[in-house]
Amino acid sequence: MWCILKLFRHACFGVMVSLCVFVGAVSCAPEALEDEDALELVEEIYDLDRFDIELDEPVPELPVKPYPESEEGRTVIIWMSIDGMRHDYLARTETPHFDRLIREGAHTRELKPGFPSITFPSHTSQATGVRVADHGIPANTFYDRERDRIFTFSGKPDLLEAEPIWTTATRQGLRVAVYDWIKSYNQPTPHAAEYYGQRYSGDLTDRERMELILDTWRADDSDTPLQLIMGYTVTPDLLGHEVGPEAPEIADMVAEMDALYGWFTEQIITLFDAKMSPRDELYLFITTDHGMSTVHSLVNIHLIAGLEEEEEKVLALTNGNMANIYLNKIESAEVRMQVEQNILNRLQAYDFLYADRRKDLPEQWGYNHPNRVGDIVVALDPGYTFHRGIASKVEPVEHMGGPMGMHGYDHHVDSNMLGVAVFWRYPEPLGGTYLGPVDSLQLHPTICRILGIQPAKGATHEYIDLPPPRMLEPILQDLP
pLDDT per position as a tens digit, 374-395: 999 999 999 999 999 999 999 9
Query: How far, in Å, CA of 318 to CA of 368, rounded?
Result: 17
- Considering the domain architecture, whether residues 62 and 143 belong to the same structural domain is answered as yes
> Worst-scoring range by mean pLDDT, 21-30, 84-93, 238-247, 434-443?
21-30
Q: Residue type at 197?
A: G
Q: Final residue of a domain: which of 347, 377, 406?
A: 406
Q: What mean pLDDT comes out for the span 333-361?
A: 97
Q: What is the CATH number of the domain that holds 112?
A: 3.40.720.10
**How many domains, the chain?**
2
- Answer yes or no: is pLDDT of 54 > 50: no
**Residue 85 structural domain:** 2-22+29-293+414-454
Q: The whole model's pTM is what? A: 0.86
Q: What is the CATH number of the domain that holds 329?
A: 3.30.1360.180
Residue 478 confidence (pLDDT): 60
- Answer yes or no: is pLDDT of 319 > 80: yes
- Considering the domain architecture, whether residues 77 and 222 belong to the same structural domain is answered as yes
| Average predicted confidence (pLDDT) for the chain | 88
- Considering the domain architecture, whether residues 80 and 211 belong to the same structural domain is answered as yes
Q: What mean pLDDT comes out for the span 16-37?
A: 35
- Considering the domain architecture, whether residues 102 and 235 belong to the same structural domain is answered as yes
Residue 71 confidence (pLDDT): 85
Answer whether the bond into residue 116 is a cis peptide, omega within 30°. Answer: yes
Neighbour tally for 365: CB within 10 Å: 18
Residues in CB range of 150: below 8 A, 6 or more apart = 26, 30, 31, 32, 33, 34, 141, 142, 143, 144, 317
Tell me, yes or no, whether 348 lies in a domain: yes
The one-character DSSP state at 284 is E
Residues in CB range of 218: below 8 A, 6 or more apart = 62, 63, 64, 271, 275
Residue 6 confidence (pLDDT): 29
Which residues on adjacent β-strands are paired with residue 287? Answer: 81
Burial code (b: 16+ CB inside 10 Å, e: under 16) for 118-136 equals bbbbbbbbbbbbbbbbbbb
- Considering the domain architecture, whether residues 193 and 327 belong to the same structural domain is answered as no
Tell me, yes or no, whether 64 lies in a domain: yes
